[in-house]
Amino acid sequence: MRREEVDLLVIGSGAAGLAAAVTAAHGGLRVILAEKSRTIGGTTAWSGGWIWAPCNPVAHRHGIHEDPAEPRRYLAAVLGNDFNAELVDAFLTAAPQMVGFFERNTALQFECGAKIPDTYSHLPGAGMGGRSVIARPYEADDLGQDLPLLRKPMRETTFCGMTIQAGPDLRAFLTATRSLPSALHVARRLGRHFWDLARHGRGMQVRNGNALVARLLRSALDAGVEIMIRHEATALLSDKNAIAGARLDSPDGPVQIRARKGVVLAAGGYPHDIARRSDSFPRPESHVSLALPMATGDGLRLGETAGGRQAQELAAPGAWCPVSLVPFGKDRTGCFPHIIDRGKPGVIGVLSNGQRFCNEGLGYHDYVRDMLEALPAGATAQSWLICDHRFIRRYGLGIVRPAPVPLGGWVRNGYLMRAASPKALARACGIDPEGLCATLDQYNKHAIKGEDPDFHRGTTPYMRLQGDPDQTPNPCVAPILRPPYYAVKVVPGSFGTFAGLQTDGSARVLGAANRPIRGLYAAGADMASVMGGHYPAGGINLGPALTFGFVAGRHAAKET
């Protein structure tokens, strides 16, 4: 058995693990980061990349200053009885410090989400912009010989492997057929991307979560972090009532790593641990996870062997998102997250009875929660997004891209249902025809005037941001009238899990009597969500993951 000694061992290479490793290395520690797959980045590399970090210095540079008490007031309003004051205060204190640390010391630089409001922007303390940041686009060839370590972005959310960032970049793609500046932007992006594909076999100008991982990987390499891929942690080592390393399996045999300052668990939660998911998820038989297949609960199992406990009393065990299943052929099925399309004007979500059940333009977490609550007893957990020809050619639907990209292939393979009338569409989908027609009549009667008295779409800043500013008087509401009509089936999905190990505000795993287990930290999805199972804003997965990874690395570096 090969043996090594370091100061800190980090298990997992998503945002949390990379943040912990980089922070600890800058604190003077020798760090090993162990990843069981062949590439770095975990589910973070597939994500949209937004990071919720209130009162951050990037917002300050944009002239956005707010009372730190306001985000705390907002979280108290959203979380209610699930508000954990210790974790919330630790997060709100450390998040701006985390952003500042990485900007000063590493390759991770940020752009400001200056116009992104919190999801429940009608509640006390809600932010109207500046609480979110995202990694700046990155030229991946800067990784040099280490480029193969960077996980490629998720196929379903790219265009031929090209990442498109929410904001001006995405809007240019949506308006390329109606705006010359947008068309020129898209032409430049496509030209560069296909040139990169020809030369490198992948896009090199990366955005979103892929840029976040690339910048953190560059930072880890610069800081001297030793990265060990294809090394799966199988057991923790203890010494004098403290965690002191781990055993790992590798292609060359077992490895024992002694870690003087302990171990950080950041292995991505349990989205693909079927047994644990079945015990905690509602309607687990219908659930589809968007998380990396290798996220199988390793961190939770290791933490429990040391006395740690999985959180049980959360509002939801996972970060929900509606998902459609994408047939790619050759028995491969992809998963598309419906993040953007639901908020555009001219689409509604219905159950098999043809009735709406939610405000489609609110958060993706809310869509799945409301769908599960509205389903009749015994009904299959599914819904359909319904739109007309005008909508799908202007905005796309699911993986179907807007004009001028053809959509016929998606009709032929069954992903996209199309019919000349609402009744015919309902029959093709297995929806009650009379129910769908009645719903569309009720919706269209008010949508012509830009109103939605049933679910109040377009009544908050968050909803209006998701809409189309060119649609008046309500950017979130338009009638569904122009045939043919289209539908995509949507099922419950998730980005990952919330119900990780219980920790304190220093990211230390809690054991018996709620006392910290010496030398054992958890961050990211291996740590119970500071949000208590709620989804108050975009970026509430990556924001705490980076922050508590930073907290764990800093705490380990200061430990004597």
Evaluate whether 281 touches 251 at the Cβ level (below 8 Å): no
Pairing of strands 50-52, 132-135: antiparallel
Positive or negative CA dihedral for 511, 512, 514, 515? negative
The lowest-confidence range among 76-80, 159-163, 248-252, 280-284 is 159-163
In this prediction, residue 95 carries a pLDDT of 98
Strands ordered across the beta sheet of 110-112: 50-52, 132-135, 110-112
Mean pLDDT along residues 420-442: 97
In this prediction, residue 173 carries a pLDDT of 81
354-391 pLDDT per residue, tens: 999 999 999 999 999 999 999 988 899 999 999 999 99
**494 pLDDT tier (thresholds 50, 70, 90):** very high
pLDDT at 525 over 90: yes
Evaluate whether 216 touches 15 at the Cβ level (below 8 Å): yes
Report phi then psi at 413, rounded to 5: -90, 0
**76 pLDDT tier (thresholds 50, 70, 90):** very high
Model confidence, pTM: 0.95
Identify the bridge partners of residue 132 per DSSP, sorted by sequence position. Answer: 52
3-state class (DSSP) for residue 412: helix
- Residue 451, number of CB atoms within 10 A of its CB: 16
Of 167, 101, 174, 172, the closest CA to residue 134 belongs to: 167
In this prediction, residue 154 carries a pLDDT of 87
Of 40, 149, 15, 2, the closest CA to residue 526 belongs to: 15
For 458-502, the DSSP string reads T-SHHHHHHS-TTS-S-TT-----SSSEEEEEEEEEEEEE---B-
Report phi then psi at 416, rounded to 5: -110, 125
271-303 pLDDT per residue, tens: 999 999 999 999 988 899 999 999 999 999 999
**560 pLDDT tier (thresholds 50, 70, 90):** low
**CA distance linking residue 502 with residue 507, whole number of Å:** 9
pLDDT at 559 over 80: no
